[in-house]
Structure 1
Amino acid sequence: MNARTAPPSSGYGIRCARPAEARAVAALLARAFADDPVMTWMVPGPAGRERRIAAYFRLAQRQQRPRAGGVRLAATSGGRLLAAALWSGPGRWKASAVQELATLPHYARVFGARGLPRAADVQNSLHEAHPDAPHWYLSTLGTDPAMQGTGVGTALVREQLAHCDRLGQCAYLESSKASNVPFYERFGFRVTHELPLPDGGPTLWTMWREPGPVTDAAPEPAPVR
């Protein structure tokens, strides 16, 4: 386990990712998801796992790029990336059939012959469980392991949820770790289903959040988690 460090003394802010940062964002998320149960199930075997997970997150970002604010960062003024989140707005969470077909060869290289059927099972399970009601979808949240516990991930989530509250819009996510469920519950998310993956795969927890009251105070990057 990486030792926790204090937030950078120079401070940090929340902003949209720049196209030139795609590889750095992918590398950060690969480190954050190195021990994720679902990711390690889809990418079996430790050889080259972090590299392949990073390749997966480069593909995931391509899906988000046409969407304004789809890739959000907690970052220092000097450009150090601390945490990243992938958001989709209402009605925009699912890739088109054409997009999925175009990316299939890339996903095949990422997951390999053994992992690709598992990745397909994960996608199908998530699509079947996904709610129909309009919502913002947090598909990915990852904090640099050295920064976990310092509040940067919390600040990143709060920034978008404050926007949801102002618009009166709901939010949705899936947690791949039981230990992360209380973290999301602190924002007002509630578990709607436990979703065991097929063929003995790990369990996911789907979570839904109704919009909260609007406050005058702007969300601050305060160290809550």
Structure 2
Amino acid sequence: MNARTAPPSSGYGIRCARPAEARAVAALLARAFADDPVMAWMVPGPAGRERRIAAFFGLAQRQQRPRAGGVRLAATGGGRLLAAALWSGPGRWKASGLQELAAVPHYARVFGARGLSRAAGVQNALHEAHPDAPHWYLSTLGTDPAMQGAGVGSTLLREQLAHCDRLGQSAYLESSKASNVPFYERFGFRVTRELRLPDGGPTLWTMWREPVPGPRRPGTVTGGPDRHPRR
């Protein structure tokens, strides 16, 4: 069980990630997803798992960074990273065929032969289930384990959802833990499908959120499991 702590007394803010922070973001997300069912499925065996998950999130950031605001952080003024989220705007959630082809050798090094096959199955399943309607896609939300339950991930999520509401745009995500579903429901997300991954893989829950009109927004309470899987 990870110890839960209060947010730093100096406070923290929400901002876009800087290029020089890519490695620190990847390390944070690797810690947050160390026990994630989908990550454990794609990276079988404990040997080097956190290092390989960090490499995965390093690759994921490369796909997000060309997109304005794609990597969002909760961070202190001193530069300590508390939580990170990877977002894609409407129509920009899927990498191009050329990008995916170029990434294959990198993913092969991360997952190995067995894990690469599983990762490809996960990606195909998620692509097939992905909605066609315009939306913002939250592919990853992770909080440093020491800060989980302190409301940091909630604050990071709420900031982007408020932006979605101002624009009148929907949001979409996949959760790999049933225990996280109520957390996202507090912010207005609703389960649209239970998605069982191929070859005996774990189950994910796809979730959709319609924009909320007016000044009142969901998710005004803090705390809860501040974690969301990417793939």
Distance 2:212 2:122 in 1: 30
Number of equivalent positions = 223
Q: What does residue 30 of structure 1 align with? A: 30
TM-superposition CA deviations, 1:69-121 (whole Å, max 9, x none): 00000000000000000000000000000000000000000000110000000
Distance 1:68 1:93 in 2: 12
Q: What does residue 228 of structure 2 align with? A: none
Q: What does residue 155 of structure 1 align with? A: 155
Distance 1:199 1:211 in 2: 36
| Aligned-pair CA distance for 1:130 | 0.1
| Aligned-pair CA distance for 1:128 | 0.1
Structure 1 segment 46-195 matched on structure 2, within 5 A: 46-195=46-195
Question: Is contact 1:162–1:214 with CA below 8 Å preserved after alignment?
Answer: no
Q: Superposition RMSD on alpha carbons, in Å? A: 1.3
| Aligned-pair CA distance for 1:216 | 7.7
Q: What does residue 223 of structure 2 align with? A: 224
Q: Could you tell me which runs of 5 or more consecutive residues in structure 1 were left unpaired when the two chains were aligned.
A: none
Structure 1 segment 193-212 matched on structure 2, within 5 A: 193-212=193-212
| Aligned-pair CA distance for 1:34 | 0.2
Distance 1:216 1:76 in 2: 27
TM-superposition CA deviations, 1:10-31 (whole Å, max 9, x none): 0000000000000000000000
| Aligned-pair CA distance for 1:2 | 1.2
Tell me the TM-score normalized by structure 1. Answer: 0.97
| Aligned-pair CA distance for 1:215 | 1.5
Q: What secondary structure is seen at the aligned counterpart in 2 of 1:115?
A: helix
TM-superposition CA deviations, 1:110-167 (whole Å, max 9, x none): 0001100000000000000000000000000000000000000000000000000000
Q: Where does structure 1 differ by over 2 angstroms across 4 or more consecutive aligned residues?
A: 222-225
Distance 1:170 1:125 in 2: 21
Q: Could you tell me which runs of 5 or more consecutive residues in structure 2 were left unpaired when the two chains were aligned.
A: 225-231
Tell me the TM-score normalized by structure 2. Answer: 0.94
Distance 2:72 2:216 in 1: 23
